[in-house]
Amino acid sequence: MHSTIFVLNDNPISENDVIDDDYFSVSQIERQGYDYCGVTNLEYEARDYFSGYYSDFFQTEIMKTEYEDYPEDNFVQYKMTIKNREKFMKGVYKRYRKALKEFSNALTLEKLLDSEDRDIHYLLYKLQCVMDDTCALQFYSDYGDFESPEQLMRRCKDGDVYYIVAAFDYHF
């Protein structure tokens, strides 16, 4: 399956900061367990994600930037302001509590000791994915690593503004 990595910046990019296929090394992507596919159309990807489910949580403002040498539409930038952080995290909290309850109800010492028990492996994976879903939208920023929307929301403060400056496609 395919998903998207959005590259975040604290400031709008300049013509010298153009992000292309060379931005990520193959080892950087593979270290995360992803199969890098390439740069995608930022305007299309951002509209797709942030006009749907995430529109309640991320306030976006399109910033058209056309550089003399790079007039392509992939230099449309999105200014993203975190809003409704608590509302977003309430949904995560409910999913986490539900997954934790399901896990604790199914767990026995015998099942935990059984390294082949597929139910327990699946429940552990499901529990981890609530707060660190690597099979969905990811963000990459100067903060230093790939983050799920849930991780980004946990560390962001009210008033934080980011510029979405590129979108990359990957397999998972």
pLDDT in tens, 53-81: 788 888 888 777 666 655 554 456 778 88
Q: How far apart are CA 99 and CA 93, in angstroms?
A: 10
Instruction: State which residues of the chain have pLDDT below 50.
Output: 73-74
> 96 — phi, psi (to 5°)?
-65, -45
In this predicted structure, what is the pLDDT of residue 143? 62
Strand 76-82 and strand 146-147: the pairing is: unpaired
Length of the chain: 172
The predicted pLDDT at position 74 comes to 47
pLDDT on residue 66: 64
pLDDT attached to residue 109: 83
User: What is the residue extent of each domain of the chain?
Assistant: 2-83+135-171
pLDDT at 65: 67
- Three-state secondary-structure class, residue 32: coil
Query: Position of tokens 């896990």?
Result: 103
Residue 159 to residues 47, 58, 82, 87, 123: CA-CA distances in angstroms? Answer: 22, 11, 7, 16, 36
What letter would DSSP give residue 137? -
**Alpha helices for 132-158 (secondary structure H):** 149-155
Global pTM value: 0.71
Chain CA centroid to CA 102, Å: 25
* Amino acid of residue 61: E
Retrieve residue 90's tokens. Answer: 């309430």
Q: Where are the beta strands (DSSP E) in the chain?
A: 2-9, 35-39, 58-64, 76-82, 138-140, 146-147, 161-171
